[in-house]
Amino acid sequence: MASSVHIAGIRKVFGKGAKAVEVLKRIDIEVAPGEFLILVGPSGCGKSTLLNIIAGLEEPSEGELRIGQKNVIGVAPAQRDIAMVFQSYALYPTMTVADNIGFALEMRKVPLEARKKRIQEVAVMLQIEHLLDRRPAQLSGGQRQRVAMGRALARDPQLFLFDEPLSNLDAKLRVEMRAEIKRLHQLSGITTVYVTHDQIEAMTLGSRIAVMKGGVLQQIGTPDEIYRRPANTYVAGFIGSPTMNFIDGKVQGQGEQGRFVFAGGALDLPCPDATELTLGQRPEHIHLSDDAPWRGEVVLVEPTGADTYVVLKTEVGLITVRAAANTKTQLGERVGMTVSGRHNNWFDKSTGVRVG
């Protein structure tokens, strides 16, 4: 049965005295039963450390951690009723797929017939029932990752933990396995906490995303909330590919009659009540226009099939525009840009915190 996860005031400090390093700084997260939570951030942000604390592989320096109604601080990993899938598949090379999947059940002394039944159920769920007699060396990377998930799933845990499980796979296989993990979660309904540095994985898999930086939780919300209303410039720049464009400038007149003035241009936009701001605009909300007064020089054209990304050099820095697939622009050409007034992200210029 899926369980909730309660994380309150979790700190983790490695070392002592002058050499102490605080890698988690009072993290507070509530994970609902059956939820798929993504912990995302760059290397060194503390996401894997937090996952290891949930798993019991690390103990927090301070804070409270409950899985379901049980306080698990000091409880051994084997007693937490969790299953973990690692970046490395960690399969036993001399065992068959069936034996790998059923190993935890065997250690728990589950009767042979019940064990066989559960192995078959999991294999069917993961679409690997035809591989049960093979050994890991005879499998592809994606098949090995399915076996690793099957081994975790066979135990029917109350909590799934994934630590960057797709990092070793090629791009095409990562897409396939993302879909497989999402389907697995929908079928099992098991509460899942998933660590990744890949924001595409975060956006496509999670029911909620927790964005971390330097051991601090920057924002937690649905993929749509994180993408459309980032809490600060860090989240805005980390989530989204290509990244959000940032334009520093000054507001002349607030509200619907606002005007945002910046180096090399000005835009008539609804503006918040502030003076110096940073305007954030996604590439899809900036449009090429022949007669627009705000202009830039084309320095890069990236066709992707469905779209073409055009990078322009302007007086406020490089600006990326998502244009139609058949857009014809030449390097060195100066083109104009317009901005949709319906998708503005305003940030305090000094702090980077969202103001509107």
**What confidence score (pLDDT) does residue 167 get?**
81
**What confidence score (pLDDT) does residue 199 get?**
87
**Cβ atoms < 10 Å from Cβ of 232:** 19
| HSE toward the beta carbon, residue 34, CA cutoff 13 A | 5
What DSSP assignment string belongs to 284-349? GGEEEETT-SSEEEEEEEEE-SSEEEEEEEETTEEEEEEEETT----TT-EEEEEE-TTS-EEEET
Please provide the average confidence, as pLDDT, over all residues in the chain.
Answer: 91
Mean per-residue pLDDT, 190-195: 94
Q: Which domains does the chain have, with CATH numbers?
A: 5-237 (3.40.50.300), 244-348 (2.40.50.140)
Please check whether residue 157 is in contact with residue 80, taking contact to mean a CB–CB distance below 8 angstroms: no
Whole-model pTM: value is 0.88
pLDDT band at 255 (very low <50, low <70, confident <90, very high): low
Interval 221-254: pLDDT, tens:
999 999 999 999 999 999 998 999 999 999 987 6
**What confidence score (pLDDT) does residue 1 get?**
62
pLDDT band at 67 (very low <50, low <70, confident <90, very high): very high
Does pLDDT of 179 surpass 70? yes
Is 176 or 220 the better-scoring residue by pLDDT? 220
Distance in angstroms (rounded) separating the CA atoms of residues 29 and 49? 14
Interval 33-44: pLDDT, tens:
999 999 999 989
Lowest mean pLDDT among 53-67, 165-179, 230-244: 165-179
**What confidence score (pLDDT) does residue 356 get?**
72
